[in-house]
Structure 1
Amino acid sequence: MNPMHRMEQLVAELNTYNYHYYTLDEPMVSDKEYDVLYDELVALEQTSGLVLPDSPTQRVGGELLKGFTPHRHLSPLWSLDKAQNMEQLRAWNARVVKLVNDYNTKNPEQPLPSPSYAIELKFDGLTLNLTYTDGKLVQASTRGNGVVGEGILAQVKTIKSVPLTIPFQDGTIEVQGEGIMNLSVLAKYNETAVDPLKNARNAAAGALRNLNPKVTAERRLNAFFYNVGFADRIQFDSHQEMMSFLRNNHFKVNPYLTYFDNFDDAMEQLAEIEESRSGLDYLIDGAVLKITDMRTREVLGYTDKFPRWAVAYKFEAEETTTVLNSVEWNVGRTGKITPLARVEPVELAGVTVQNCTLNNAGDIERKNLKFALGTRVFIRRSNDVIPEILGKVTSENDGEEIVVPDHCPACGFPLQQRGAHLFCDNKLGCKPQIVARISHFASRDAMDIETFSDKTAIQLHDELEVREPADLYRLQYDDLVKLERFGEKKANNLLTALEKSKERDLASFLYALGIPNTGKATTRMLAEHYRDLHKVMSATVEELVELPDVGGIVAESIVAFFADPFTQAGIEKMLSLGVRAQAPEAPQQKKTDSFFSGKTVVLTGTLHQLTRDDAASRLEALGAKVTRSVSKKTDLVIAGEKAGSKLAKAQQLGIETIEDEDEFIRLLEQE
């Protein structure tokens, strides 16, 4: 075959695979198959000395650039007016409605439709403006001042979700979007980076404005697109039509794009987005509300700075800076030593932040925090998760040193380094470990010992020398009743609760033991598979990795935990004291002929007739697979009251939904 013809075939095939993988999230081939074709293309290019304009080999980044070339946009890139609260949003909408009504009064023969709204996520990255001529990407630039930006074509070509060619080949268009770095990609990058990146926004902006495109390529950026700013031979009647054009031309459009005819419904969606944004794998700092009808946009026009037909609703900041005052080293129930940062109090995402997490000593080094005490640092908070320190504001070592301990801060025992973390191995003599293990053992999802609390664990440790969970079952009434804040009633209640806890099933007991790297789902699966405590204890790594969702690390954690003589002795003591740890009832045979059989189902929103867990259990009994996130593999979404982004994504993807709870119950109960 002619080498040029083969290169054309390979470029077309690889670009198709890239589009399905990076834009549609629907891989068509394995990485290995892709690599074979890619390597063949590289060899042909090296032999022939030719590279086709849309070859995927261009995405690795080329030579170092000397500087940025100014690019004048074919159409201005406008800023957006901002609303900080619902009252300001309603004021914006009132102005829109008034302008529409005024126009219709003056032009009754061609009235504008009642306003309808599109809601898009407001990405926290770097604005991109891409120019395509006759279907080929010929320029890419930053926003700049809205009229002139910086040419960054070589950098943008490294983003694999940016199409190098598009099906639309009729003239010139400019498409706007946002270059971002996914949070999972940022975390992976920082694991090995010599200079860790402080946050995803700066990482994306720094990569795209870097004169070395190879640096851009290393950051594995992503992009979403949301507007056609200029087109000389095509027009759109609505926002929906424009988005369809973008999708049809292989641009990645974010699935969280929703449409509303009613303004109040749009407001509810904004509240849902703000509440659920911490679950996204990229940063957003708000949402954008747009009028969908293009003729209405034209009539409403622009102020000196903003379009009147769009507004940005800004969320409360999730990132800010504050001063790092001190670092404490805390001991967990597994003996792991974790640093906790004390910072100067600062308002962030609606709360006052005083404590921030630092994962381990290595994290301190990677984030250039070794000499950061007394200096200003970046912090980030997501919903109720404890805020995290991202890095120092400056790169100088201008603060006091954070000293990493070599002995346990609680008991003085020498610390051991295992993997990325420090551990105290003094299991029988380190109070924080003991108290945490006992509290976990007694917790609701474990042995569910009623009336038990962290204070109770501390008191029993200090005054009755309770050193392990087995000691709980040796407690006597005469010992308890003498304790401070313990009367006859409290003593009897605790003893009754301890006696009831002996009947907990094997899954609860395994979870209560606190096996490292395992949660409720894993311990339940172990209980259902082995149905006997001693079989779990004697399982091998080779056996365990064959089980669902058990990888090598989890398998090794389970085996090492049960190999510990301390663990074995504690379990045997509890069994001798009456703890039964019985196998669960045999699972019922899943139905294969129900409405839900074989379907992947997502539950979202609030159900009133049964709990979410009950609904999931009943669905699984009927042969369904219940998952948390909506994807193209989802078959059905059950939407209760106040269902938000998951329902919106399902509708966007054309996934079947049930939004009537009575109908859902009827389907559950039908034979």
Structure 2
Amino acid sequence: MDEMHKMEELVAELNRLAYHYYTLDAPLVSDKEYDVLYDKLLQLEAESGLVLPDSPTRRVGGELLKGFVPHRHLAPLWSLDKAQNIEQLRLWEARVLKLVNDYNAKNPDTPLPAPCYAVELKFDGLTLNLTYRDGALVQAATRGNGVTGEGILEQVKTIKSVPLSIPYREGVIEVQGEGIMNLSVLAEYNRRAADPLKNARNGAAGALRNLNPKLTAERRLNAFFYNVGYAEGTSFSNHQEMMQFLRDNRFKVNPYLTYFDSFDGVTEQVAEIEAKRSGLDYLIDGAVIKITDFRTREVLGYTDKFPRWAVAYKFEAEETTTILQSVSWNVGRTGKVTPLARVEPVELAGVTVQNCTLNNVGDIERKNLKFALGTRVFIRRSNDVIPEILGKVTEESDGGEIVFPAECPACGFPLEMRGAHLFCNNKLNCKPQIVARITHYASRDAMDIETFSEKTAGQLYEELSIREAADLYDLTLEQLVKLERFGEKKAQNLLQALEDSKHRDLASFLFALGIPNTGKATTRMLAEHFRSLDAVMAATPEELEALPDIGGIVAESITGYFADPFTVSGIRRLLEHGVVPEMPDAPAAVNEDSFFFGKTVVLTGTLHRLTRDDAAARLEALGAKVSGSVSKKTDLVVAGEKAGSKLAKAQELGIPVIDDEEELLRLLGGQPS
């Protein structure tokens, strides 16, 4: 077989594997197997001096370009009219119905069908217009003014979900889509970048309009496609046919695409998309509603700016700008000192925002916020969590300085910088740390001490000198009844709850200790694997790293925690007070034929038919190991509603996902008990 034929076969196979991996999210081989074929192609290209037009090696980015070349689109790229609320959306529907009814009244022999509607996501990225000639990608351009854009072919070739060649070879076609940067990719990029990106939209647009394709490749962009704007040799009667054409030609079509005969279904779907928006791994700023029948589209036509047969429904912004007013510093239970920003109040995603997270000192410096007080900043809110400051609107250091504290704002102890974080090491006398540790110890998922709260912890700290969890078991009725808001009944209830807490299971006890970088899933796995407190405390980093949920950082956190004399002393005192972490029951014999047997499973998102804890218990009963984080050791991810970064990472790693709760119940063996 000659070299050219070998290269053609390798290119075809690598493109087939990439299509399954990047477009279908269904990998056929491991990364290692793909790399072997890729390296073989690289070697052949180096030896022959030839690179085929659709070779995947072209995706790494070539030489620096001298400038953008204007590209005139074969068909115009229209903007969309916008609806800001359901009432405006209904007005659009009414105009469509009137136009259809007027046409049908004048043309009774060839009436238009009753309108049917497609609902798609409105991506917040950069519009792409791709040109294919006889199956080969020959140009890619920005939208520009809708008639002429900028040629960005070399940049777009770096996007692995963009096919370099397609099966359709009957002439020239233009396909429109959106270039995006996944939020999980943005987060990973910003962890490594000296100059972090403000948001995913800027990350995608900046990469595609950069004259250095190698930089574009580093951003690991993605793309979804939703329209054929121009086509020689083929035509479509409706939207469904066109979307199937895109799928058949290996374009990545977003799964959030639905069709409705009733406009009530459209409004319900729009509301559902908005509810799920924060759980997506990419930015959207609305939904797009289109008439599906192409003859109806032709009859309805266009205004000067917009097609009459489509409309964009705009969601409330999840990003906006406001003024950074001040920064305060808060101390957590591990001693970590974190900055909290106060901003000029602004409406964002339906709420008034006044406070934003800044994460840590390193985050402030990376985002060019050190001199940002009094200046305008980007903020983003998602998943109903405290909004995050993304960066300054301008690049200048023209604001007041954020001063990093040298001493703990709560106790005055000198602070230590560890990595990007500041820490107060005064474990014995720093009130916020102590109150937070005791509150965590008493929480429901830990020792479950009923009637206990953070307010109670603060009161006991101030009035009875409670300094660690073991001190709780020294409390007496006489002490408690003297406290404000503590009657005899409340005092007796607290003492009984403390007594009841002495016999929690080992997993709950380990979680109550507040070991850094460990959550409920990790402490449960530690309990079930080591089966005794002494064995957990004596575990080596190597033993810990062998477990599915634990990497090097978590292993060091666990061993470092139990090497601390303060920790050991506190645990010894708890045991002396009668706290007896109960060993987990010996694992029951499981059916090794179970689908889940031997698999490491991660649960993410919201389940409706059973709780996450119930699902975890049933999975473990079938021989699965339930983990709290996604890694290469993960075998399966169960994704409920609003699944976010864990689902995105699973898709990135090619890990199988169950996203249908009914299917999960079937595999678990029936309905929840």
TM over 0.5: yes
Is 2:131 the partner of 1:165? no
**Alignment CA distance shift 1:118-1:664 (3 Å):** farther
Matching residue of 1:642: none
One-letter identity of the residue aligned with 1:151: G
Q: Does the CA-based 8 Å contact 1:173-1:231 persist in structure 2?
A: yes
The structural deviation recorded for 1:392 is 0.8
Contact in 2 for aligned 1:658/1:664 (Cα 8 Å): no
Q: Which residue of 2 aligns with 1:580?
A: 580
Letter in 2 for 1:56: P
The aligned residue for residue 63 of structure 2 is: 63
Instruction: Give deviations 1:288-316, integer Å, cap 9, x for gaps.
Output: 12222222222322222222222111111
Deviation of the 1:277 alpha carbon? 1.5
Aligned letter for 1:283? L
Query: Residues 312 and 665 from structure 1, CA distance in 2 versus in 1: closer, same or farther, beyond 3 angstroms?
Result: same
Q: Deviations over 1:554-598 (max 9, x none)?
A: 122111111211111111111111212102334444456789999
Structure 1's 306 and 385: CA in aligned 2 closer, same or farther, altered over 3 A? same
Q: Which residue in 1 is equivalent to 2:350? A: 350
How far, CA to CA, are the matches of 1:660 and 1:365 in structure 2?
A: 47
Count of residues in Structure 1 that have an aligned counterpart in Structure 2: 658
Once the two structures are superposed, residues 136-180 of structure 1 have per-residue CA deviations (whole angstroms, 9 ceiling, x without a partner) of: 111111111111111111111111111111110001100000011
Alpha-carbon distance, 1:110 to partner: 3.8
Q: Distance in 2 between matches of 1:662 and 1:87?
A: 40
Residue range with higher mean Cα deviation, 567-576 or 122-131: 567-576
What residue identity is the alignment partner of 1:264? Answer: D
Matched residue, 1:299:
299
Contact 1:337 1:421 (8 Å CA) reproduced: yes
Per-residue CA deviation, residues 620-652 of structure 1 (Å, 9 max, x unaligned), is: 64678999999xx9899999xxxxx99xx9xxx
Q: Residue 114 of structure 1 aligns to a residue in which SS?
A: coil
SS in 1 for 2:428: coil
5 Å matches for 1:230-241? Answer: 230-241=230-241
Matched, 1:552 2:557: no
Of stretches 185-194 and 449-458 in structure 1, the one that deviates more from structure 2 is 185-194
Counterparts in 2 of 1:589 and 1:274: CA distance versus 1, 3 Å:
farther
Q: Is contact 2:658-2:664 (8 Å) kept?
A: no
In the other structure, the counterpart of 2:126 is 126
Counterpart pick for 2:671 among 664, 668, 671: 668
* 8 A contact 2:118–2:258 mirrored in 1: yes
Q: Give 1:12's aligned residue.
A: 12
Look up the SS of the partner of 1:502 in the other structure: helix
Q: Which residue of 2 aligns with 1:494?
A: 494
Cα 1:654–1:395, aligned 2, differ >3 Å: closer, same or farther? closer
Give runs of aligned pairs for residues 9-48 of structure 1, distance below 5 A: 9-48=9-48
Cross-structure match for 2:116: 116
Normalising by structure 1, we get a TM-score of: 0.91
**Structure 1 position 286 matched with structure 2 position 289:** no
> Is 1:258 matched up with 2:258?
yes
Q: Is the 8 A contact 2:369 2:392 kept in 1?
A: yes
**SS in structure 1 opposite 2:569?**
helix
- Structure-to-structure mapping, 1:442-591, within 5 angstroms: 442-591=442-591
- In the alignment, which residue of structure 1 is the partner of 2:52? 52
CA deviation profile, 1:230-263 (whole Å, cap 9, x unmatched) = 1121112222221111111111111222223332
The verdict on how the C-alpha distance between 1:637 and 1:579 changes in structure 2, with shifts beyond 3 A counting, is closer
Q: Is the 8 A contact 2:117 2:292 kept in 1?
A: yes
Q: Give, in angstroms, the shift of residue 387 of structure 1.
A: 0.7
Alpha-carbon spacing, 1:659–1:523, altered in 2? closer, same or farther (3 Å): closer
Distance 1:482 1:510, change over 3 A: same
Partners of 1:310 and 1:108 lie apart in 2 by 25
Which runs of no fewer than 5 residues in structure 2 stay unpaired?
642-646
Q: Is 2:246 the counterpart of 1:246?
A: yes
Q: Any idea what SS the aligned residue of 2:374 has?
A: coil
Whether contact under 8 Å (2:320, 2:378) holds in the other structure is yes
**Do the aligned partners of 2:521 and 2:628 also contact (CA within 8 Å) in 1?**
no
Moved more, 548-557 or 617-626: 617-626
Greater mean alpha carbon deviation, residues 134-143 or residues 78-87: 78-87
Q: For the structure 1 residues 390 and 480, does the alpha-carbon distance in structure 2 shift closer, same or farther, using more than 3 Å as the test?
A: same
Is 1:337 paired with 2:337?
Answer: yes
Task: Compute the displacement of 1:106 (Å).
Answer: 4.0
| SS of 2:670 mapped into structure 1 | helix
- Equivalent residue, structure 1, for 2:148: 148
Once the 2 structures are TM-superposed, how far is the Cα of residue 603 of structure 1 from its aligned partner? Answer: 9.7
Distance in 2 (CA, whole Å) between partners of 1:638 and 1:325 is: 38
Contact 1:601–1:624, Cα closer than 8 Å, also in 2: no
Structure 1 gap ranges (5+): 640-644
Alignment match, 2:644 = none
| CA distance in structure 2 between the partners assigned to 1:601 and 1:338 by the alignment | 29
Deviations 1:470-527 (A, max 9, x none): 1111111111111122121221121111111112211111111111111111111222
| Structure 1: distance between partners of 2:24 and 2:240 | 18
Checking the alignment, whether the CA contact within 8 Å between 1:601 and 1:638 is kept in structure 2 is no
Deviations 1:264-287 (A, max 9, x none): 233222222212222211111111
1:417 partner SS = strand
**2:267 — aligned with what?**
267
TM-superposed CA distance for 1:203, in Å, is 1.3
User: Is the CA contact 1:175–1:229 (under 8 Å) kept in the aligned structure 2?
Assistant: yes
Q: 1:231 to 1:67 in 2, by over 3 A?
A: same
Report if the CA contact (8 A) 1:595-1:667 is conserved. no
Alpha-carbon contact 1:356-1:386 (below 8 Å) kept: yes
Corresponding residue number in structure 1 for 2:324: 324
Match of 1:418 in 2: 418
The aligned residue for residue 96 of structure 2 is 96
AA aligned opposite 1:55: S
Distance 1:595 1:43, change over 3 A: closer
Provide closer, same or farther for how the CA distance between residues 313 and 624 of structure 1 changes in structure 2, counting only shifts above 3 A: farther
The CA deviation at 1:188 is 1.8
Cα offset, 1:204, TM superposition: 0.9
After superposition, the Cα gap between the structure-2 partners of 1:165 and 1:128, relative to the gap in structure 1 and judged at 3 Å, is: same
In 2, are the aligned partners of 1:130 and 1:137 still within 8 Å (CA)?
Answer: yes
Residue 611 of structure 1, CA deviation: 4.8
- Tell me if 1:85 matches 2:85: yes
Normalised TM-score (structure 2): 0.90
Q: Kindly state the Cα deviation for residue 665 of structure 1 after the two structures are TM-superposed.
A: 11
Residue identity matched to 2:380: R
Q: For 2:334 and 2:638, how far apart are their aligned partners in 1?
A: 40
Q: Which one is further off, 437-446 or 531-540?
A: 531-540
Residues 24-47 of structure 1 show CA distances to partners (whole Å, capped at 9, x for unaligned) of 223333334433433343343344
Following TM superposition, by how much is the alpha carbon of 1:346 offset from its aligned partner in structure 2, in angstroms? 1.1
Q: Look up the equivalent residue of 1:177 and give its one-letter code.
A: G
**Paired AA for residue 269 in structure 2:** Q
1:663 Cα deviation from its structure 2 partner? 10
* Aligned position for 1:409: 409
SS for the counterpart of 1:473 is helix
1:382 is displaced (CA, Å) by 0.6
Give the match's secondary structure for 1:383: coil
Q: Which position in structure 2 is the counterpart of 1:429?
A: 429
1:360-416 C-alpha deviation (Å, 9 max, x unpaired): 111111111111111111111113111111111111111121121222221122222
The 1:637–1:240 alpha-carbon spacing in structure 2 relative to 1, beyond 3 Å, is: farther
- 1:445-465 per-residue CA deviation (whole Å, 9 max, x = no partner) reads 111111111111111111111
Q: Is the 8 A contact 2:369 2:391 kept in 1?
A: yes
Conservation of the 8 A alpha-carbon contact between 1:155 and 1:217: yes
Partner of 1:230: helix, strand, or coil?
strand
Q: Summarize the Cα distance change of 1:343–1:401 in structure 2 as closer, same or farther, 3 Å threshold.
A: same
Contact 2:521 2:626 in 1 (8 A): no
> Closer, same or farther in 2 for the Cα pair 1:656/1:597, shift >3 Å?
farther
**Contact 1:607/1:661, CA 8 A, preserved across alignment:** no
- Kindly provide the amino acid, as one letter, of the partner of residue 667 in structure 1: G
What is the letter of the counterpart of residue 198 of structure 1?
K
